[in-house]
């Protein structure tokens, strides 16, 4: 399979906001499903479904301890990827904000006295 298809699969696994929140939370350390649920803020069945997607994609690992299942990020580079994505978005939003401010100044020059 070409690397571009593998990358597309990776980004498909990352394409849900709950999965991003899960990975960002797990980036701070291992959590049980019970600990994740209030932090992620979705129903337990939906959380389990999203964890399954991440596990099948090889992005998280799980271990059972008694009745609890604990999850962790499989590779710290995924946390770095999410950090870089956030930086890109912040940069882009900052540029957009600055552009809007310039447009506003052009449309309303009296407000800039």
Predicted confidence band of residue 112 (pLDDT cuts 50, 70, 90): low
Question: What b/e string do you get for 93-112 counting C-beta neighbours within 10 Å, with b at 16 or more?
Answer: eeeeeeeeeeeeeeeeeeee
- Answer yes or no: CATH 1.10.10.10 is held by domain 1-74: yes
Residue 23 in contact with residue 55, Cβ under 8 Å? no
Q: What are the tens digits of pLDDT across the range 91-104?
A: 888 888 888 888 88
Q: What are the tens digits of pLDDT across the range 47-88?
A: 999 999 999 999 999 999 999 999 999 999 999 999 999 999
Put simply, whether the predicted model's pTM sits higher than 0.85 gets the answer no
Is the pLDDT at 17 greater than 60, yes or no?
yes
- Where along the chain do its domains lie? 1-74, 75-113
51-54 contacts at long range (C-beta below 8 A, 24 or more positions apart): 51/22, 53/13, 53/16, 53/19, 54/13, 54/19, 54/22, 54/23
Quote the pLDDT of residue 105. Answer: 84
């Amino acid at each position: 399979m070409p690397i571009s298809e593998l990358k597309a699969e990776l980004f498909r696994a990352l394409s849900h906001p709950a999965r991003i929140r899960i990975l960002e939370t797990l980036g701070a350390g291992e959590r049980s499903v019970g600990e994740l649920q209030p932090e992620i803020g979705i129903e337990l069945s939906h959380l389990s479904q999203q964890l399954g997607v991440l596990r099948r994609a090889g992005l998280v690992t799980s271990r059972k301890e008694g009745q609890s299942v604990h999850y962790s990020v499989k590779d710290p580079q995924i946390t770095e990827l999410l950090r870089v994505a956030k930086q890109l978005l912040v940069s882009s939003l900052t540029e957009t904000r600055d552009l809007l401010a310039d447009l506003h100044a052009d449309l309303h020059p009296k407000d800039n006295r």
